[in-house]
Structure 1
Amino acid sequence: MPTYTNLILKAATTEQDQQQSMQVRIVVFVDEQKYPLYTEVDDEYNDKSDVWIALCDRTMDDGKVEQGVPVGTVRLISVSEKVGKLGRLAVISDARGLSLGKKLVQLVVRDAGTRGMESIIIHAQYDKQGFYEKLGFTVEKGDEETFLEDGTPHIRMWHRNVGKSKN
């Protein structure tokens, strides 16, 4: 199993960064979770969101080192001046357990707060609810019902007061 070091979290501002983000999304959502490819490549928000990417150096079992390997991604869509929508959080399977998902979400929350956003909404896969709760997201009254997105149960969660968040 490879090991990962030298984490870099950065805004995906170049075409290469965007392609690397999409590569991670395809590995996680299409190859692993079996969503259809079009749900990623034809997503209407691909050109309307801010994207971050996690890169690491990967050391293979044989000692070979690959630098700057894309291992995670997340995006933020501006719903309004005060509300953002977090989405497409993905970490490749052999890089899980390194708190990359947590770090990516915390980065988005901080960024949203610096932009003056007050709240972030997420349509979380239902089985990931506990992960997001640990990062300050809650299911609010009226949002307790699960709903299907692309055939998978999701739940609406909110992170309020992001500008004042410690996460």
Structure 2
Amino acid sequence: MNEITIRPADWSKDNSEIRRIRESVFIAEQSVPPELEWDAEDAVADHFLAYEGDYPIGTARLLPDGHIGRVSVLKDWRGLKVGDQLIRTVIETAEKRGLRQQMLSAQVHATSFYEKLGFTVVSGEFLDAGIPHVDMVRVSE
């Protein structure tokens, strides 16, 4: 395996790679309806891409209010700390922008992953696109 790198992405320029990853993870694997996956917030969000070598394998976005979302890593690269590196990069970017609080809606099965990164569950369980989620918050020191 090559080294994993994370870089900021441009929604216009990197759209096809971001879409390919999110369509694979959310629409194909998790049966999220396309109309729920794509929203107007993509145009105002900061996007990130994770690469193995030159191949994009993961993505996430950061909204101006500190919400992190659309975190996705292609199946063959899960369990290799790609998501960890991706979220740490997003948190670092948020903190540099003065966003001391980061929020996200996590799929319930992923809560322990986010807890290891400093997030705390702040809601009961709810369904989003038919998938159980909880809201989580992380406050920077």
Query: Does residue 1:12 correspond to 2:9, yes or no?
Result: yes
- Greater Rg over alpha carbons, structure: 1
- Provide the residue aligned with 1:64 in structure 2: none
**What TM-score does the superposition give when structure 1 sets the normalisation length?**
0.79
Residue 53 of structure 1 aligns to which amino acid in structure 2? Answer: L
Report SS of the residue matched to 1:15.
coil
Within the candidate set 147, 154, 160, 2:126 is matched to 147
Report the Cα offset of residue 38 of structure 1.
2.1
- Provide the residue aligned with 1:77 in structure 2: 63
Query: Does residue 1:32 correspond to 2:32, yes or no?
Result: no
Quickly say closer, same or farther: Cα 1:30–1:160, change in 2 above 3 A.
same
Q: How many residues align?
A: 141
- Provide the residue aligned with 2:136 in structure 1: 157
Query: Does residue 1:47 correspond to 2:29, yes or no?
Result: no
Within the candidate set 91, 95, 105, 1:109 is matched to 91
- Provide the residue aligned with 1:93 in structure 2: 75
Report the Cα offset of residue 156 of structure 1.
0.7
Report the Cα offset of residue 44 of structure 1.
2.3
Please list every run of at least 4 consecutive aligned residues from structure 1 whose deviation after the TM superposition is greater than 3 angstroms: none
Q: Quick check: 2:11–2:42 contact (8 Å CA) kept in 1?
A: no
Report SS of the residue matched to 1:78.
coil
Report the Cα offset of residue 14 of structure 1.
6.1
Runs of 5+ unmatched residues, structure 2: none
**What TM-score does the superposition give when structure 2 sets the normalisation length?**
0.93
Runs of 5+ unmatched residues, structure 1: 58-67
Deviations 1:101-157 (A, max 9, x none): 0000000111111111110011111111111000100023xx2x1111111111011
State the distance in 1 between where 2:2 and 2:17 align.
18
State the distance in 2 between where 1:18 and 1:111 align.
20
Write 1 or 2 for the structure with the bigger share of helix.
2
> Identity of aligned pairs, percent?
34
